[in-house]
Amino acid sequence: MRSAKDFFRPLAVGAPEPVREIPFRPSRMIHFFDPGNPKMAAKVGDLAAQCDVVLGNLEDAIRADRKQEARDGLVRIARATDFGDAQLWTRINSLDSPWVLDDLLTLVPEIGDKLDVIMVPKVEGAADIHYVDRLLAQLEARAGLTRPILVHALLETAAGVANVEEIALASPRMQGISLGPADLAASRRMKTTRVGGGHPGYLVRTDPVGEDFTVGRYTYQQDLWHYTVARMVDACATAGILPYYGPFGDIADVVACEDQFRNAFLLGCVGAWSLHPKQIAIAKKVFSPDPAEVAWARRVIAEMGDGTGAVMIDGKMQDDATVKQCRVVVSLADALAARDPELARAYAAEENTDA
């Protein structure tokens, strides 16, 4: 571990100063596209207008013989596209792959000034982040970049989960962490064959009602990802960085996708991945606090005055702790509304209904 005094010193002579705080920028959906796919490439400008983050994916889902095409495509797209308020991220190949060095040696000099965040897959511990941290500093110095590129870790190995706290705290570049349920399931040797979501076999059953164990018993499907999401959220909150749910692979099942995203939102995540244009609106809806909830939170804050003591509002006790929860909701709503006029109008309309 680095000395606290050195933590915010650049790791290479001439590299930009590390950031002291991770800026909160809306990132409700991290929209994945294949930069080597001409159809997707043609849509990136439109996607940037709809999404908080667009991510040029270079890792899994890009065939081995198309890695270079994807990397070159990302360079072209980054140079040619006006991303407006949207962020541009990339997911590089894993650190043990034959492609990752070329990913970083190409992207940082060519488009380092356009890239906000680099997602590193299959991170297993702080050592992986330290490696990327130093290499990025060297490349940023050589490229003359004035702003550091932030790093996002993908939590998708059993070792990564065991070390999630040290990963979150490994570098001032750490922007956030996403749960990768597909690779994590494989790494843990879970007996599933899906990308995120529940499983009908993972359930609890009510007690028997008589002699016959087969009748009158209800079953409830359980959440396979609860423990990992909660642990990731705690690690991120401790480190002052942002947690995300990752992919939901059943593109057709927009209902279960919304449920999975909402579970993550309620547990503290700020966004999720969209793999298909259909999932963009789902993430936008789920990760934007509900207007009625925001109006309620504003009311609690107003009625609680300096935020101390206890009051009753509509039969519910409010005190210092509920005010803090309400401030989380309101500050998120304000930050999102500042970038999303449609949401700003929805919040204003709800305020007017309440008044």
Rounded to whole angstroms, the Cα distance separating 12 from 37 reads: 36
Which residues, 279 to 338, sit near ligand O=CC(=O)O by CB under 6 A? none
**Residue 276 near which of ligand O=CC(=O)O, Mg ion, ligand ACO, none (CB within 5-8 Å, type-dependent):** ligand ACO
Rounded to whole angstroms, the Cα distance separating 301 from 322 reads: 9
Q: Which region among 2-10, 53-61, 127-135, 254-262 touches ligand ACO (by CB under 6 A)?
A: 53-61
Query: In the structure encoding, which two tokens stand for residue 223, read together?
Result: 């959440």
Spell out where 196-329 has E strands: 203-205, 219-221, 242-245, 272-274, 311-313, 316-318
Asked if residue 91 lies in contact with residue 119, where contact means CB atoms within 8 angstroms, the answer is yes
Q: How many CA atoms lie within 13 Å of 152's alpha carbon, on the beta-carbon side? A: 25
Q: Work out the number of other CB atoms within 10 angstroms of the CB of residue 140.
A: 24
60 CB-near residues (< 8 Å, 6+ apart):
121, 183
Q: Which region among 125-133, 178-186, 276-284, 301-309 touches ligand O=CC(=O)O (by CB under 6 A)?
A: 178-186
Indicate whether 180 belongs to the interface with ligand O=CC(=O)O (CB under 6 A). yes
Spell out where 17-78 has E strands: 29-33, 53-57
Q: Which residues are annotated as a binding site for Mg(2+)?
A: 156, 183
Q: Contact residues for Mg ion (CB under 5 A)?
A: 156, 180, 183
Q: How many CA atoms lie within 13 Å of 251's alpha carbon, on the beta-carbon side? A: 6
Which residues, 219 to 248, sit near ligand O=CC(=O)O by CB under 6 A? 246-247
Q: Which region among 19-27, 110-118, 176-184, 203-211 touches ligand O=CC(=O)O (by CB under 6 A)?
A: 176-184
Indicate whether 73 belongs to the interface with ligand O=CC(=O)O (CB under 6 A). no
Question: How many chain residues interact with ligand ACO (CB under 6 A)?
Answer: 16
Buried/exposed 247-276: b ≥16 CB within 10 Å, e otherwise: bbeeeeeeeebbbbbbbbbebbbbbbbbbe
Q: Which residues are annotated as a binding site for substrate?
A: 91, 156
Indicate whether 190 belongs to the interface with ligand ACO (CB under 6 A). no
Angle of CA points 148, 153, 159, to nearest 5°: 140
Question: How many chain residues interact with ligand O=CC(=O)O (CB under 6 A)?
Answer: 10
Indicate whether 275 belongs to the interface with ligand ACO (CB under 6 A). yes
Q: Of 148, 181, 271, 289, which one interacts with ligand O=CC(=O)O (CB under 6 A)?
A: 181
The nearest distance, CB 154 to Mg ion, in angstroms, is: 6
Binding site for ligand ACO (CB under 6 A): 32-34, 39-40, 43, 57, 60-61, 182, 195, 247, 251, 275-277
